[in-house]
Amino acid sequence: MTKTFIRPIAMVSAFLLSGMAAQAEGLLMPDFDAELGRGLYASKGCVVCHSVNGIGGIDAPALDYDPSQGPMNPFDFAAKMWRGAETMIYMQQDELGDQIEITGPELAAIIAFAHDAEEQAKFSMDDVPEAIADMLHEADDEHEDEEADGDHDDVPDSEEGHD
Ligand code: HEC
Rounded CA-CA distance 114/13 in Å is 28
When pLDDT is cut at 50, 70 and 90, the band that residue 149 belongs to is: very low
Q: What is the CA radius of gyration of the chain?
A: 20
Nearest CA to ligand 1 atom 15: 84
52 bridge partner residues:
55
Amino acid at 159: E
Name the band, by pLDDT with cuts 50, 70 and 90, for residue 1: very low
User: Does residue 58 contact residue 132 with C-beta atoms inside 8 Å?
Assistant: no
Q: Distance between CA atoms of 13 and 28, rounded to whole angstroms?
A: 15
The answer, as to whether pTM is greater than 0.85, is no
pLDDT tens profile 71-98? 999 999 999 999 999 999 999 999 889 9
Mean pLDDT for the stretch of residues 107-128: 97
Ligand 1 pocket mutation pick from 36, 47, 49, 120 by most atoms within 8 angstroms of CB: 49
158 has pLDDT over 60 = no
Please list, in sequence order, all residues whose beta carbon lies within 8 angstroms of the beta carbon of residue 159, skipping any fewer than 6 positions away.
54
Please give the Cα distance from 65 to 70 (Å, whole number).
Answer: 10
Residue 76 CA to ligand 1 center (angstroms) comes to 13
Q: Which residues line ligand 1 at a C-beta cut-off of 6 Å?
A: 44-46, 48-50, 59-61, 77, 80-81, 84, 87-88, 91-92, 95-96, 100, 102, 110
Mutation pick for ligand 1 pocket among 44, 49, 88 (CB with most ligand atoms within 8 Å): 88
Strand, coil or helix: what is 112?
helix
CA dist 1 and 49 (Å) reads 55
